[in-house]
Chain A
Amino acid sequence: MLVRAGGAAYALPARDVRFVVRGLVCHPVPGARPRLLGLAQYGGEPLAVLDLHALAEGGTAQTSQRVTVVLGRRSERRAPAVGLAVDAALRVAEFSGPQSPDDGRLIQGALSVDDETVTVLDTSVLMADRWRAGGWDDD
C-alpha cells in the first residue's frame, strides 16, 4: 500500500495492514520518544500510534495524522496492533521490488513509481517480539 508521510512516499506490505481509519484521536504519552505520537482507542483496545516519517527518517514527527494505518498480523487477530500516522493512504497496488529478507531492518530499499521514489518498508519488524519486548532499537 502506498502512503505519503512528511512529503515522502512509502510502500507498506498490504499483508501487514489491518485497516485504514481517518480521524483517529491520539493521546500523547508523556516522556515518549518523538516517533511515538501517543495512544489511541481502536476497537476497544489501546493502540500505539507511530509517526511514519519520524520512524523511517528519524527526527521529529512531521505527519498530519489525518490517516492512521493500523498494522497487525492478519493471522493473529488477537495480536497487538500498531498504528502508523500518515498524511494520506494512496492506493493498494502490486510492485516488483525488493523482497523482505526478514533481516529486521525497517527500510528495505526503494523503487520508482510514476517517476517518484518510493521507500519500501518492512512493517513486520514493528510487530516482532523484539519490538514488543522492549521496543525497536534505533541502532
Chain B
Amino acid sequence: MTEHRAPGIVRAWAGPALLTVLTMAGWALLEAAADSPQEAWFVRAFILLGAVAMAVHVVAVLMPQRRAVRELAALRALHDEQCQALAASLEELRHGDLVAMTAPIAALPQPMQLGVGQASRALAALMQQIQSSSVEVASAAGTVQRTSSELASASSQQAAAVVEITASTEELARTAGQIAANSAAQARLAARSESSADTGAASVEAAVVGVEAVRGHMAAIAARADTLGARSRDIYRMLDLITEIAQETHILALNAAIEAASAGEHGGRFAVVAEEVRRLAERSRESVDSVRSHLDEFSGAIRGVAQATAEGSQAAEQVLLQSRSAEHAIAELRSALTETAQAAREISLATGEQRTASDEVAATLREVGDVIQRIADGLRRYTDAAERLNQLALSIQLLTQSFRIESPHSLKHQLLRWTERLRDLSGNLEAVEGALSELLETCPYLEMVYMVDVSGVMTAFVVNRELVGERQLPGSAAVGRSFAERPWFQAVARDRRSAVTPIYDSLLTGDPCFTIAVAVGSGDDTVGVVGADVNLRNWTKI
C-alpha cells in the first residue's frame, strides 16, 4: 500500500508544484523585464493570480483528490475482504461442503450473501434430489434386475419346457404315423380275417354236422354195448349154472368114488368111471373158469366200450355245443372284424390327420421356442442393463456423498455432527464406543465405525453384527493398530477435511463398500479421525 501511495502523492502534489515553479519563473522573468510601475503592477497581479490559482488548485483539486484516494483505499480493503470470503466460500464449495460454504459469506454484501446462499441451497437441493433420484433409480433398477432375472429364468425354463413339448409333439407325430400305418395294416388284416372267418364259419358248420353224425353213431354203439352187456350177464348166469352142475358132478363123482372104494375090488371099474366123471367135471369147471375169464375180459371191454361211448357221446355233445358256440362266436367275430376293419380305417385316417396337425404344432412350438429363447436373451441383457443402471446409481450416490449438505442423507454431514459429540468425549474411550454404537444404530448400513487418534492409531471401534454376523474380525480391526498409512487418514490429516475412498471389498463381509473419514475437531484442536465403512449392498438405506 505504501508503494502504491508514494507515486500518488507525487502525482497529487505535482500540479501545485509545477504551478508554483511556473509562477515563480514568470514572476522572475516579469520582474526582470518590468520597467514601469504599470508593468510592476502587472507583475504583482501575475503573482497574485498565481497564488490564487495555487489556492484554488489545492482547494478544488488536491483536497478532493486526497479524500477520494482515502475512500478508494477503504473500498479496496473491503473488496479484498469480500474476495477472501468469497474465495473461502468457493474453497468450501470446491471440497463439496455446501454447509461450510455459507459461513464465510457473512462478509459479503447482502445481495451477494443472498446469491451465494441461494446458490448453496439450490446446490444442496439438487444434491438431495440427485441422491433420492439415485436411490429410486437403484431401487427401480434392482426391481427391474430381479424381475428380469426371474423372467429370464422363467423364460429359460419355458424354453426348455417348449423344447420338451416340441420333442414330445414330434414323438406324438411319429407315434401317430406309426399308429396310422398299424391301423392300415390292421384294416388289411381285418379284411383277411373276415375272409378267414367266413371259411372258419363254413368249417364249423361242417364240423357241427359231422359231430351230430358222430353223436348218432355213438348212440348206436352205446345201444349195442348195452345189448352185449345184457348178453354177457346171460352168459354169466349160464356159466354159473354150468359151474354149479360141474360142482355137483364133482361131488357126485367123489361120492361115487367113495362108494367104489367101499366096494373094494368090485368097485374098481366104477371108481374109474367116477374118476373120469370127476375129471370131466373138473375140466368143465376149468373150461367154465376159462370162459368166465374171457367173458370177464369181454365184459370189461364192453363196459369200457360203453363207458367210452358214453364219454364219446358226452364229448360229442360238448363238441357240438362248443361247435355251435364257435359258430356263433365266429359270426360275432366276423361282425366284430368288420367293425374293426372299419374302425381301423377310421383310426388310420384320423391318426394321419393327427400326424399332420402334430407336425404343424411341432413347427409352431419350435418357433415359439425360438421366440422364448430370444426373449430370455433379451431379458438377460435387460438384467445386465439393470445391473449397470444400479452401478451407475451407486456411482451417482457416491458422487453426491462427496458433497456435504445439511441433510440426514449426507454421510459427511452425519459424521461431522457425530464428531462434534466425539470431540467432547475425547479421552473417554467407553463414552466414545457408546457414541459409535449409537451411530451404528442410527446408520444400519455401516459395517463398522472406528476412531483413530491424530497419529493414526485406532482407539475405539464398533462392529455392526447385524451385517457382519458372527464372522471373525480381521487382524486390522483391533485397538492399537496403526492406520497412518491408509489413504483416507492421510487425506484427512493433510486437508483436515472429510474424505471418501473408492469402492473396495470389505474384509468383514466380502461385500463392496467404501470408507468415509471425518476429522474430529478442527485445526490445531483436531483430536482424531472417525472412519465409517459403508456396506454398498445396503446403501439404498442411506
Contacts and interface: CB of A to CB of B under 8 A. Distances in A.
Interface of A: 1, 14-15, 17-22, 67, 74, 89, 91-92
Contacts of A21: 251
A17 B258 contact: yes
B251 A91 contact: no
Contacts of A17: 258
The dominant DSSP class at the B interface is: helix
B262 A20 contact: no
B251 A67 contact: yes
B254 A20 contact: yes
Nearest to B282: A91
Contacts of A20: 251, 254-255, 258
B248 A15 contact: no
Nearest to B260: A92
A89 B248 CA distance: 12
Nearest to B278: A91
B255 A19 contact: yes
B247 interface: yes
A67 B247 CA distance: 10
- 8 closest cross-chain pairs (CB), A and B: A92-B257, A14-B261, A20-B254, A17-B258, A89-B254, A20-B251, A20-B255, A22-B251
B271 interface: yes
B289 to A, nearest CB: 14
B271 A92 contact: yes
Most buried by B among A1, A19, A89: A89
B511 interface: no
A70 to B, nearest CB: 10
B198 interface: no
Contact of B262 (A15, A22, A67, A89): A15
B262 A91 contact: no
Contact of A22 (B247, B257, B271): B247
Given A15-B261, A74-B262, A91 B254 contact: yes
A119 B274 CA distance: 24
A1 B251 contact: no
A19 B252 CA distance: 9
B275 A91 contact: yes
Contacts of B262: 14-15, 74
B161 to A, nearest CB: 100
Interface string B246-276: 0110110011011011100000000100110
Interface of B: 247-248, 250-251, 254-255, 257-258, 260-262, 271, 274-275, 278
16 contacts: A1-B254, A1-B257, A1-B258, A14-B257, A14-B262, A20-B251, A20-B254, A22-B248, A22-B251, A67-B251, A74-B262, A91-B275, A91-B278, A92-B258, A92-B260, A92-B261
B279 to A, nearest CB: 9
B468 to A, nearest CB: 118
Contacts of B278: 91
Given A22-B247, A74-B262, A91 B257 contact: yes
Nearest to A92: B257
A133 to B, nearest CB: 27
Contacts of B248: 22
Contacts of A92: 254, 257-258, 260-261, 271, 274-275
Contacts of A91: 254, 257, 275, 278
Nearest to A91: B278
A22 B260 CA distance: 20
A67 B262 CA distance: 20
A17 B251 CA distance: 13
A15 B262 CA distance: 6
Contacts of B247: 22
A89 B255 CA distance: 10
Contacts of B258: 1, 14, 17-20, 92
Nearest to A2: B254
Given A1-B257, A92-B258, A92-B274, 6 more contacts: A15-B262, A17-B258, A20-B255, A22-B247, A91-B257, A92-B275
B264 to A, nearest CB: 10
B420 to A, nearest CB: 143
Contacts of A19: 255, 258
A89 B261 contact: no
Contacts of A14: 257-258, 261-262
A112 B399 CA distance: 149
A109 B258 CA distance: 22
A89 B251 contact: yes
Nearest to B257: A92
Contacts of A1: 254, 257-258
B280 to A, nearest CB: 13
Nearest to A15: B262
Contacts of A74: 262
A20 B257 CA distance: 11
Nearest to A67: B251
A110 to B, nearest CB: 21
Nearest to A74: B262
Contacts of B261: 14-15, 92
A74 B259 CA distance: 10
Q: Looking at B257, B258, B262, which has the most chain A CB atoms within 10 Å of its CB?
A: B258
A20 B261 CA distance: 14
A98 B132 CA distance: 156
A74 B262 CA distance: 8
Contacts of B254: 1, 20, 89, 91-92
Between A19, A22, A92, the greatest number of chain B beta carbons within 10 A of the residue's beta carbon is seen for A92
Contacts of A89: 250-251, 254
